[in-house]
Structure 1
């Protein structure tokens, strides 16, 4: 399996919440190298950290892994703002060495142009009725808690992981209609920007398909599906699911490229160290 990519996109890690698969996403990033890493929103969950969330050492390790990618592989990292990490509005835009923090971006590769955005800007509930969005977040948090209880008992019975929230979304007609409308609206936005494709996250539904001539790519999430988008050096995109990775095989086939010269160390660990006081960012 290929372990070196031109670009990797991940989104919706929701660090600071109980449902975040911080260890898994850090392990995932250890298996692959890339020229560009795009963190497409909701990486840190400021909403939960304001309430009952907690910042743990494993969450800091995720950023430590990213710093190593910058230093060892000279990876360019783009952190795009999502709705749950809207506290970034206070510092946007920001450039520190190979780390760029911004709202959205245009990405050009192999003769094609992609508009990359988290996707919440197209969600009228989130942007216009914030209190309703918070209520929805509470309900989703409860569903994730219930999902953990279900999978605890499934593991004891030797059964595979089951995403309860994805199952509920698939059964509720209004949710299905919302997802369809969401995907169509984003492809319209890509067209309006004269782009060949759209890359997004937000709705926690990984996808790679063509809609009305526009390539629609959704990186999924690291709460339920544990998925990412990867582009090879020929411009082909694929979805990678953590649960389908043969880590033994990728470890054996991985080629470690050391930088030819010393690279600048990006002083971001000061921003997210082990003693990081999460609430100070979300006041």
Structure 2
């Protein structure tokens, strides 16, 4: 798989929190180039920053990396508002050069239309009962802290990383039911808007599957799963997991290409996802805000 993509989607970075993998996502974006970068909500965690969160240098470096993508590769960046960065409501919509900040958008590519939204708008708990959402946020933060303690001892014993929060969500029937309903409702929304698919985040569960004929894709998060969605220049979408990228092999391959004088981009092995080939379409993607 090549390092050049048409579009990359990331969400739920939660900058300002202890659990944010800011260094990892900056390293990830340094390896991959794209024409369009979509930051699909909860990039900055305003909720935690108001309480006990803190802004660190590594969080600033994330935005420095994005600025370099704009400057060096002319990448178009779309920052979509999430529930944890709802402070952006005060400036929506915003456009400056290659940077656009908006609520949601429709992305057109290779004859297909995708509705892209963070996903919290379909979460009745977050939109209607804010105090319950904050309470759930506190519980999730505690699980992340406990998860770090558990994995500290697992690493000492040579055991692989274990996601406690994902385990808990997988065992609680109400959580499983909520996720299923969430995915189905978003797929219905995409169909209602005349789109072929929907791209979201919010629930921290990466996914790429078909639901009743609609392509449902979730980019996951950069707190635990460290995943992103990427579209190649043929219109094929796939999930990329940071932990499955062999950075050493990519670096060695890049050096080999330099010495033998080949112009091809370095190759980074990643998780393969099956998909159907789409017809070629030379027309550039079109973007439309849904406000």
TM-score by length of 2: 0.87
Please name the residue that 1:55 is paired with: 55
Aligned 8 A contact 1:3 1:250 in 2: no
Alpha-carbon displacement from aligned partner over 1:115-171 (angstroms, at most 9, x marks no partner): 000000000000000000000000000000000101111111111111110011011
SS at match of 1:100: strand
Does residue 76 in structure 1 map to residue 86 in structure 2?
no
Work out the CA distance in 2 between the residues paired with 1:101 and 1:178: 29
Work out the CA distance in 2 between the residues paired with 1:196 and 1:30: 31
Alpha-carbon displacement from aligned partner over 1:167-225 (angstroms, at most 9, x marks no partner): 11011100000000000000000000000000000000000000000000000000010
Please name the residue that 2:289 is paired with: none
SS at match of 1:149: helix
Does residue 40 in structure 1 map to residue 50 in structure 2?
no
Work out the CA distance in 1 between the residues paired with 2:114 and 2:154: 40
In the alignment, structure 1 segments of 5+ residues that lack a partner are 257-283
Please name the residue that 2:127 is paired with: 127
Q: Identify which range, 247-256 or 229-238, moves more after superposition.
A: 247-256
Please name the residue that 1:201 is paired with: 201
How many residues are paired up? Answer: 256
Work out the CA distance in 2 between the residues paired with 1:95 and 1:250: 35
Return structure 1 stretches of 4+ with deviation > 6 angstroms. none
Higher RCO (Cα < 8 Å, 6 or more apart): 1
Describe how 1:145-224 pairs up with structure 2 within 5 A. Answer: 145-224=145-224
Aligned 8 A contact 2:2 2:265 in 1: no
Q: Identify which range, 208-217 or 239-248, moves more after superposition.
A: 239-248
TM-score by length of 1: 0.89
Q: CA deviation at 1:249?
A: 2.9
Superposed CA RMSD: 1.0
Q: CA deviation at 1:33?
A: 0.2
Q: CA deviation at 1:255?
A: 3.1
SS at match of 1:36: strand
